[in-house]
A and B are shown apart, each in its own frame.
Chain A
Amino acid sequence: MSQDVSLMAHLMRRAGFGATRNELDEYLSDGYETTVDKLLDPGESNHMPDDLIRRYHVDQSELRQLDCAGAYWLYRMLTTSNPLEEKLALFWHGLFATGYAKLNQARALLNQIDMFRQYGFGSFRDLLVELSRDPAMILWLDNNENHKEAINENYGRELLELFSMGIGNYSEDDIKECAKAFTGWTLKNAEYMSVRASKDSIWPYGRIAWHYEYRADDHDSGEKKFLGEVGNFNGEDIVDIIVTQEPTARFLSTRLFQYFASDEVDDDGVQVIKAMMDSYFESGFKVSAVLRTLFNSDYFKSEKCRYSRVKGPVESVVGTARLAGSYQEPTLDVHSLWAQTMFMGQGLLAPPTVEGWHEGVEWIDSGSLVERINFAAKELSDPTKDGVQDIIRRVTSGYRDFIHAENLVDSCLDFMGPIQVGANTREGLIEFAESQGNLQLKNGKTDQDGSAQVARLIGMIASTQEYQLA
């Protein structure tokens, strides 16, 4: 049983933002493979209703500024019943990294995230076509400046290099031809909107959201030669060619592997990626099929795969807040939550460049580590939080008078995850727990001081090296 719990907790750290024990119990009643299927085919999610957010947070109704939009997306991550939907959207956000700094248009970014939710599990072909039509992407990579008479290669280049095939699998000519095929793909009122974006103008009446426009008269409809094929290609035709390339399958599978399975790819990982590539082609480029192969692989389920990723800042903040049971109703604190992701080096909706964030161990430096620890320790050492109270209840259940430090540590580690820690960490935690004395209970329950004592230990567990890993 406990092996099942560990495995399910592992799955949920990867395919979600971790899970409370209540949530794990529900997933366990479905079993592993059914849970994977449900995660991959989520349907409508339950989450904090939009109308409640918009009435309370007038800034999130308007979404004029980055901080408001970041908080808005965090609410979704914090309260969704479909965690993989958000986790995958966050993956696409990092891969197709589109940043606020150049756009100055938060609504357009959130519309892009909505598009990731809608197309992110389906055909990679459809996703790339939608991405090419996405107004935020168009402005981000200058496709509004890609004209029939004067091409701008920026989108064409990044589509191949960073979004689909990876460098070394096409020529400079292919880039030019690709760019030509996307001429005329722009946004409505492109001239006015790009002037406003370039000046961060919110005047006179706030921002005006964007939508896609195809200008046939600005499209180069001439013949193009792309990756060895010849035709009067438009953008969709180019994407059709891209998605059938083996490098595309490898690129996508590898990136998904690194995000969901392990920062480093070893020999066994190479085999899993091969299987993911097969699923990609067999399913007609379906992302959900590729992920199903990954999640159901022996490699993913193995001990080796566990704790082999450094949690990203957003993952860490959301996971901690979900475990604490915070932010289930609109509250002004959500704003500082967004700021936290910024302090830890992953400003949501504000990736530094089109290459996205440097992940894995590069998330960590002394400043960001201190921010992580201080945030998690504060959030989880608060005995008034619902999630913390639930852990305390579970920890003390079965005891009557007191709990020894060592038992308390093991029990907290269990109900916070389960989280596996090394021997040295466990010693440090026990030493800390001992310094607080045995936990005294009255009729199997903690009093206020006792709850605070357990909460302090929970906060200390959130400060461990192991807690930084997923």
Chain B
Amino acid sequence: MGNKGKSLVVVQLSGGNDYLNTVVPYGDDEYYDFRKTVHIEQNKVLPIDKVYGFSPHLAPIKRLYDQGKVAVINGIGYDNPNRSHFRSMDIWHTAQPDEIGTEGWLGKVIRDLDPNAENVLTGVNFGRGLPRALGVRGVPVASVGNLDTYGLFPDIKDESAKKLALDAFAHMYGGVQGKDPVLNFLGQTGMDALKGADILRTAPQKYSSAIEYAANPIAQGMKSIAQVMLADFGTRVFYTQHGSFDTHSGEILTHAKLWDEVSGAVGDFYDDMQEHGREDEVVVMIFSEFGRRIKDNGSGTDHGSGGVAFIIGGEVKGGMYGQYPSIKEADHLEGDLHFNNDFRSTYSTIVEKWFGLDPVPIVNGHFEQFDFVNA
């Protein structure tokens, strides 16, 4: 189902990324008026044009932007912005701003890509616990904390002891079950988990690359994604996250470090894909649950609305999309940037143009699409 051989990597920036210090309106004096303390100096910005430029900590992304591989979605958001982390993240995950949704948009994508749940690895999350975006009942998604130890009994370090434990597990869960449907279901689920783990754990062994990823968690997460992708298990949707971008204080230092890590990881990932001739088969989407206040608080910035997303890949048509919101006082939305495109437009574009699926049931409605990716 959907276009084969195409996959999506979602990188969630948790905590609310500060848009103004990511894509910086360095040519607009008002930016420096509102951001007396928490700004990026003009001479450090990596210019896109005379007004806007990337933070120097997005250098690897700027490099890809210059190659035409990065779509910057400016002013992304939704009506009646919610400035609570949990709720706003839920909205992005379920694509339902107006009521509490129960199904994740990517879970629905996975269901449509693999309607009979034939491949337990169609969706893989890197991190513990399942983000709501991937959660749909009956859709299996593997959540991988650590690819090397993924699966059952990660705490048994001795290989032969672990094998004994896994053998016993397979005996117990895989044996002939009685009439009890609950025990049967548990047995089946346990065997599925065992199978999925057996497959996934082979990924690092199959992998070789000249790229050396950094030691931080997001770089290691992107490396694991590269390993699984290159192992060709048929995984179509990857998910990972990094944070916390909730920079109420000491923003300059923290934001710089976080973006150094994210952009380095994404840059390395792209290069890795290129090394293996696979950069045209993957799209990376980077998003955050909200942007931050226009005016700083003397040390950091507080919860706001209106943000930026990035779409990166070999088949991406690079450039600036959406509109960079005005930062003039009169144009503020309750002290924040005014969003001008619904995040579900970006979702719809990916779902339809990239995956070839019907976006309407997935994003819960019709939304005008961008043209940032080759179909």
Q: Do A and B contact each other directly (Cβ–Cβ < 8 Å)?
A: yes
**Contact surface of A with B, Cβ cutoff 8 Å:** 100-102, 104, 197-201, 203, 263, 310, 339, 342-343, 345, 352-354, 358, 361-362, 364-367, 369-371, 373-374, 377-378, 381, 422, 424-425, 427-429, 431-432, 435-436, 456, 460, 463-466, 468-469
- B171: chain A residues at CB < 8 Å are 424, 427-428, 431
From the candidates A104, A374, A427, A466, name the one contacting B155 in the complex (CB within 8 A): A374
Q: Is B151 located at the chain interface by the 8 A CB criterion?
A: yes
Q: Are B172 and A200 in contact (CB under 8 A)?
A: no
Q: Are A367 and B143 in contact (CB under 8 A)?
A: yes
Q: Are B189 and A365 in contact (CB under 8 A)?
A: yes
Q: Is B211 located at the chain interface by the 8 A CB criterion?
A: no
From the candidates B120, B129, B178, B185, name the one contacting A422 in the complex (CB within 8 A): B178
In this complex, how many residues of chain B approach chain A with their Cβ under 8 Å: the count is 51
When chains A and B are docked, how far (Å) is the Cα of A339 from the Cα of B106? 23
- Interface stretch of the complex, out of B134-142, B217-225, B313-321: B134-142
What residue of chain A has the Cβ atom nearest to residue B134's Cβ? A367
With contacts A101-B86, A435-B164, A468-B186 known, is A366 near B142, CB below 8 A?
yes
Q: Are A373 and B152 in contact (CB under 8 A)?
A: yes
New contact pairs (5) apart from A367-B140, A422-B177, CB-CB < 8 Å: A353-B100, A353-B102, A366-B140, A427-B175, A436-B164
**Contact surface of B with A, Cβ cutoff 8 Å:** 82-87, 90, 100, 102, 120, 128-130, 132, 137, 140-143, 151-155, 161, 164-165, 167-169, 171-173, 175-178, 182-183, 185-187, 189-190, 192-193, 196-197, 248, 302-303
With contacts A370-B151, A424-B175 known, is A200 near B84, CB below 8 A?
yes
Q: Are B189 and A364 in contact (CB under 8 A)?
A: yes
Q: Are B83 and A200 in contact (CB under 8 A)?
A: yes
CB distance from B153 to the nearest CB of A (A): 6
When chains A and B are docked, how far (Å) is the Cα of A128 from the Cα of B192? 43
When chains A and B are docked, how far (Å) is the Cα of A371 from the Cα of B151? 9
- A102: chain B residues at CB < 8 Å are 84, 86-87
Q: List 23 A-B contacts (CB under 8 A).
A: A101-B87, A101-B90, A102-B84, A198-B84, A199-B303, A200-B85, A203-B248, A203-B302, A361-B182, A367-B143, A370-B151, A377-B155, A378-B155, A424-B176, A429-B172, A431-B168, A432-B168, A435-B164, A456-B161, A463-B165, A463-B169, A465-B173, A465-B187
When chains A and B are docked, how far (Å) is the Cα of A457 from the Cα of B332? 63
Q: Are B193 and A370 in contact (CB under 8 A)?
A: yes
CB distance from B77 to the nearest CB of A (A): 15
Q: Are B165 and A352 in contact (CB under 8 A)?
A: no
- A468: chain B residues at CB < 8 Å are 186
When chains A and B are docked, how far (Å) is the Cα of A447 from the Cα of B187? 35
